[in-house]
Amino acid sequence: MKQIVYLDNSATTKPCEAAINNTAFALTNEWGNPSSLYDMGFRAQMLVDDTRKAVSGLLKCREDEIYFVGSGTEGNNTAILGAAHARQKRGKKIITTTIEHPSVLETVKRLECEGFEVVYLKPQENGVISIDDLRAAIDKNTVLVSMMLVNNETGAIQPVNEAAQIIKQSGAPALLHCDGVQAFGKMPINLVDLGVDLFTASGHKIHGPKGIGVLYVKKGVTIKPLVTGGGQEKNMRSGTESVPLIYGLKGAVDSLGNINENLKSSKELWNYAKETLLETKLITLNSSDEALPYILNISVEGYRSETLLHFLEAQGVYVSSGSACAKGEGSYVLLEMGLAKKRVDSALRISFSRDNTKQDIDALKSAIIQATQKLRRSN
């Protein structure tokens, strides 16, 4: 069996032992329905409550502000549609960015079809949205601003806290939604200090199970639920809670360790990757030095991303050409940053986890060199 070098952690992460054990425990020992009014139900509900406490502790918010959903995508849909529909009598303008995840962009497009006006802010060359552009766009008719915290393709950190301040200064009735999927568990987050009204996260990006997401709704904020029925999650997300996946998320949260120390270690690995890959004289950097150091976007100009991916895979090295949801299509994020199409067509996203080492980077470097040499010979 060939050795695997996995450097696509922004797509998903390997479940950690605690997440696997917690999931298995809930499946085999506490499989009762948490809504049932007897001891099996109470015990299942306790696992849900314990996870809510762990997540709220990580995000520095109230426990009753955390809701469990099926994914980051569902969280984004619920937040955006729920906020827009709840506030449409106060205005029908939404502001977002052109570099959001498809679960945000496709959702606001749906709202455009319903008669909402959507303003899309473009990033600067470094991949960061200009706060002045937001200041110019917001008005008294704006009911929602949606801005991600960390871009999933470049790692660019967006000015979410500054956006919160501008909304407050403008007097607009806008709620601030933040897609925090790529930031959750990777950088210190205090939702009170961040100033958001709605925040979404996902379990499988931090070594938890797939199929579990988090939606934060600030106390006092009202949005319309996307999924209705039995009234679970205080009517925010009906449907019997997936206790195994929820408790698996707790295992992942408990295993994070010190966020700041992890960030420091990842920055060292990020720097090593940047310097090591630049030594090849084959790459151009698309991520800035200010990016969250869990994502490094590069271009190997002259070689198409899809072709390179197959060569790297053959050597047991796994990276991506961008968002997993893009399924191999060119990166709209890099195009919006103003990069030339030739550079975009040769882009690779390298994304790290705590499991990665410098040896993984060395293997990636070697694989890129070998891939380009083979491709040159074949041409």
User: How confident is the model over 308-366, as pLDDT tens digits?
Assistant: 999 999 999 999 986 555 555 679 999 999 999 999 999 999 999 999 999 999 999 99
Give the CATH class of 17-254. alpha beta
Spatial separation of the C-alpha atoms in residues 253 and 300, rounded to whole Å: 36
Give the global pTM: 0.95
pLDDT at 327: 53
What are the φ and ψ backbone dihedral angles of 106, each rounded to 5 degrees?
-70, -30
Q: What are the DSSP calls for 67-103, one per residue?
A: EEES-HHHHHHHHHHHHHHHHTTT--EEEEETTS-HH
Picking from 272, 265, 368, the residue whose alpha carbon sits closest to that of residue 312 is 368
For residue 59, the surrounding DSSP H or E stretch is: helix 39-59
With cut-offs at 50, 70 and 90, classify the pLDDT of residue 210.
Answer: very high
Distances (CA, A) of 6 to 3, 175, 205: 10, 38, 14
Spatial separation of the C-alpha atoms in residues 38 and 314, rounded to whole Å: 54
User: How confident is the model over 116-130, as pLDDT tens digits?
Assistant: 999 999 999 999 999
Looking at residue 296, the DSSP 8-state letter turns out to be: E
The 3-state DSSP class for residue 247 equals helix
Spatial separation of the C-alpha atoms in residues 77 and 56, rounded to whole Å: 21
What does the buried/exposed string (b/e) look like for 260-281 if buried means 16 or more CB atoms within 10 Å of the residue's CB? eebbebbeebbeebbeebeeee
pLDDT at 235: 83
Looking at residue 339, the DSSP 8-state letter turns out to be: -
Picking from 117, 121, 175, the residue whose alpha carbon sits closest to that of residue 144 is 175
Q: Which fold has domain 5-14+258-378?
A: Aspartate Aminotransferase, domain 1 (3.90.1150)
- Cβ neighbors of 193 (< 8 A, separation 6 or more) are 60, 161
Spatial separation of the C-alpha atoms in residues 329 and 35, rounded to whole Å: 43
Q: Are 140 and 167 in contact (CB under 8 A)?
A: no
The pLDDT of residue 4 is above 90:
yes
Selected catalytic residue, list 16, 61, 113, 325: 325
Mean of the per-residue pLDDT values for the chain?
A: 94
Query: Which residues of the chain form CATH 3.40.640.10?
Result: 17-254
Mean pLDDT, residues 208-220 taken together? 98
Tokens of 256: 């994070």
Query: Which residues of the chain form CATH 3.90.1150.10?
Result: 5-14+258-378
For residue 146, the surrounding DSSP H or E stretch is: strand 142-146
Distances (CA, A) of 163 to 122, 168, 244, 349: 15, 9, 36, 27
User: How confident is the model over 52-77, as pLDDT tens digits?
Assistant: 999 999 999 999 999 999 999 999 99
Catalytic residue status for 325: yes
Place of tokens 């937001």: 134
